[in-house]
Amino acid sequence: QPKVRVFLPLEGKEKKGEFKKAIINGKETTIIVGAYKNVTLNGYKTTIPKGVPFEVALQVAEELGQSQVATAEAGSQFLLDRNENVQKALS
């Protein structure tokens, strides 16, 4: 599957996510330090660090985009400028 580069912005006081090598119980493993987002698609989990460009499969990027749209739409009914009546009342 083709890959694309995505960028997930940091929120609040989050620190940049990064992968680091560590030795735990005598075995080398990869750990993530800082902020990240997990995306599970078809049973496969992808961990995406926040605050840095990161390459993911196109399908994972599309899922992230749909998630962002859903989040934005879910909060739109609570915006101060959600309709004309509210805008007039605040003017």
Q: 3-class SS at 61?
A: helix
Give pLDDT tens digits for 69-84.
777 777 666 665 566 7
Cα dist from 80 to 68, 73, 77, 84, 90, whole Å = 20, 14, 9, 10, 8
* pLDDT value, residue 75: 67
Would you say residue 64 has pLDDT above 70? yes
Q: Which residues have a Cβ under 8 Å from the Cβ of 35 and sit 6 or more positions away?
A: 10, 11, 14, 15, 16, 17, 49, 50, 51
Delimit the domains of the chain by residue range.
3-90
Query: Is the pTM of the predicted complex or chain greater than 0.85?
Result: no
Give pLDDT tens digits for 8-49.
999 889 999 999 999 989 999 999 899 999 999 889 999 999
